[in-house]
């Protein structure tokens, strides 16, 4: 039995709005699970059900070997960190961290020891006498995490905890959360719409859309073998290039231009039932060369360590991600090359992976 088992979860509001449509996930002890997807996909609703803040219309939720589907939050042995921090403004940092323990009648000496332990872990010992209004956003988020850590729960639940922070602080806090998990090894479920957070933090990722889990796997599996077109385009920045192609002469072509396939891909294309496919290429798979697919450079976006370059080609508009500074000008004629092994094929209509 894993640390968390989500079995056949459905959620319907007003008998017509189907938010979750049959979610099945098994999370192992100590695992860091990411629920990621666009707004409205159902990820926060699922987290609320794990937390006991909402209840499913159908299905079961087990924490360890206990069925907690209809248990109140206080009986689930969980700790949650919210997007809004949810700190008590009239309490000091130390009082905020200790509050959950105080409610549970934990002796004062144990409470004080727990406050000192998590304050040291999160490097907020110098803030213990301050009120939340005297703290920065990053400091408030550390206090919110400290309140959860003081509990030593079976599950940590994070609901988009970094979305209110600026870009630099998000990167710092992301690293702190990862290090925190490495130290505590507590099973964690983390909701985000940010695919970078998903890829850097998660042991496994559940990519959600419209109440369904589109793919459940490790970051490498999600990135290198996306199950469908939605996952392929959602995970990765810039997004995967997608070219509409047709099956032709044992391969695929776009506007009459043959695109490279390896032997496995050719066999998959021939076995597939539809002539209409989508040919996908990650931007980092494309390289500038002296020959290959011709095009015109239409946009250059330098980021410092790498450059995003958009090229108008007979196969469509393609974005390449190249290291360093690109020695070229907008309007220049260029050629693109790639390895067929790095191509992905999807069905045009269902979006499912073909190869």
The pLDDT value given to residue 313:
96
Contacts of 346 (CB under 8 A, 6+ apart): 228, 229, 232, 242, 277, 278, 280, 352, 353, 354
Domain residue limits at 141: 4-233
pLDDT at position 184: 87
**Per the domain annotation, does 355 fall within a domain?**
no
* 222, part of any domain: yes
**Per-residue DSSP letters for 71-120?**
--GGGS-EEEE-TT----TTS-HHHHHHHHHHHTT--HHHHHHHHHHHHH
Alpha-carbon distance of 19 to 141, in angstroms, equals: 29
Q: Do 168 and 77 have their domain in common?
A: yes
218, 248: one domain? no
- pLDDT of 324: 94
With a cut of 90, say whether residue 123 has pLDDT above it: no
Query: Residue 147 belongs to a domain with what CATH number?
Result: 3.40.50.300
Does one domain contain both 33 and 52? Answer: yes
Provide mean pLDDT across the span 171-184: 88
Give the model's pLDDT for residue 309. Answer: 97
* Pair (137, 211) in one structural domain: yes
Of 186, 212, 233, the last residue of a domain is 233
Residue 50 or 137, more confident: 50
Does some domain include residue 320? yes
Lowest mean pLDDT among 51-55, 92-96, 171-175: 171-175
CATH of the domain at 324: 2.40.50.140
Rounded to the nearest integer, the mean pLDDT of the chain is: 93
Model confidence pLDDT, tens digit, residues 239-286 = 999 999 999 888 999 988 999 999 999 999 999 989 999 999 999 999
Tell me: do 188 and 123 sit in the same domain.
yes
80 and 137 together in one domain: yes
Predicted confidence (pLDDT) at residue 6 exceeds the cutoff of 60: yes
pLDDT given for residue 166 in this prediction: 83
Lowest-pLDDT choice from 92-96, 154-158, 162-166, 284-288: 162-166
* Same domain as 64, residue 171: yes
pLDDT attached to residue 83: 80
Last residue of a domain, one of 214, 233, 252: 233
Residue 1 pLDDT greater than 60, yes or no: no
pLDDT in tens, 42-70: 999 999 999 999 999 999 999 999 999 99
| 354 is a domain residue | no
- Residue 78's pLDDT is 93
Both 194 and 284 in a single domain? no
Q: Compute the average pLDDT of residues 34-44.
A: 95
- Give residue 53's pLDDT: 94
Query: How many Å apart are CA 39 and CA 81, to the nearest integer?
Result: 19
Question: Which of 293, 294, 328 has the alpha carbon at shortest distance from 309?
Answer: 328
Residues 187 and 294 in one domain: no
What is the band of 151 on the pLDDT scale with cuts at 50, 70, 90? Answer: confident
Residue 244 belongs to some domain of the structure: yes
Both 75 and 137 in one domain: the answer is yes
Are residues 21 and 147 both part of a single domain?
A: yes
Residue 352 lies in a domain: no
Which of 233, 256, 276 corresponds to the end of one domain? 233
pLDDT category, 162, cuts 50, 70, 90?
confident
Q: Which of 30-39, 132-141, 298-307 has the lowest mean pLDDT?
A: 132-141
SS3 322: strand
Residue 208 has pLDDT above 60, yes or no: yes
pLDDT band, very low/low/confident/very high, at 172 (cuts 50, 70, 90) = confident
Instruction: Give the model's confidence band at 165: pLDDT under 50 very low, under 70 low, under 90 confident, else very high.
Output: confident
Confidence of residue 170 (pLDDT cuts 50, 70, 90): confident
Residue 259 lies in a domain: yes
> Among candidates 355, 350, 319, which has minimal Cα distance to 340?
355
Structural contact between residues 242 and 278, judged by C-beta atoms closer than 8 angstroms: yes
pTM: 0.90
Same domain, 25 and 76: yes
Per the structure, how many domains does the chain have? 2
CA distance 351 to 207: 15
């Amino acid at each position: 039995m894993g640390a968390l088992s989500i079995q056949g979860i459905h959620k319907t509001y007003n008998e017509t709005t189907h938010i979750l449509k049959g979610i099945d996930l098994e999370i192992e002890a100590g695992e860091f699970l990411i629920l990621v997807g666009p707004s409205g996909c159902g990820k926060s609703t699922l987290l609320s059900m794990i937390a006991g803040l909402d209840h499913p219309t159908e299905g079961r939720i087990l924490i360890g070997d206990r069925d907690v589907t209809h248990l109140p939050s206080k009986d689930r042995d969980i700790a949650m960190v919210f997007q809004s921090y949810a700190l008590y403004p009239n309490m000091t940092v130390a009082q905020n961290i200790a509050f959950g323990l105080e409610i549970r009648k934990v002796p004062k000496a144990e409470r004080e020891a727990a406050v000192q332990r998590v304050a040291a872990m999160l490097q907020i010992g110098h803030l213990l006498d301050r009120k939340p209004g005297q703290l920065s956003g990053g400091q408030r988020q550390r206090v919110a995490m400290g309140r959860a850590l003081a509990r030593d729960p079976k599950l940590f639940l994070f609901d988009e905890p970094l979305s209110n922070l600026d870009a630099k602080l998000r990167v710092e806090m992301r690293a702190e959360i990862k290090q925190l998990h490495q130290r505590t090894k507590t099973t964690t479920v983390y909701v985000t719409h940010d695919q970078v957070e998903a890829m850097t933090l998660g042991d496994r990722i559940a990519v959600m859309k419209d109440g369904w889990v589109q793919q459940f796997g490790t970051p490498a599996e999600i990135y290198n073998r996306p199950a469908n077109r939605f996952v392929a385009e959602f995970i990765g920045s810039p997004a995967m290039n997608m070219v509409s192609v047709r099956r032709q002469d044992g391969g695929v072509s776009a506007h009459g231009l043959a695109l490279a396939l390896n032997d496995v891909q050719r066999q998959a294309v021939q076995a597939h039932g539809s002539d209409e496919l989508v040919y996908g290429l990650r931007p980092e798979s494309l390289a500038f060369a002296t020959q290959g697919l011709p095009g015109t450079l239409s946009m250059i976006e330098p980021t410092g360590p790498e450059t995003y370059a958009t090229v108008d080609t007979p196969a469509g508009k393609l974005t390449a991600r190249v290291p360093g500074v690109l020695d070229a000008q907008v309007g220049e004629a260029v050629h693109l090359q790639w390895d067929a092994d790095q191509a992905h094929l999807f069905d045009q209509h269902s979006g499912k992976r073909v190869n």
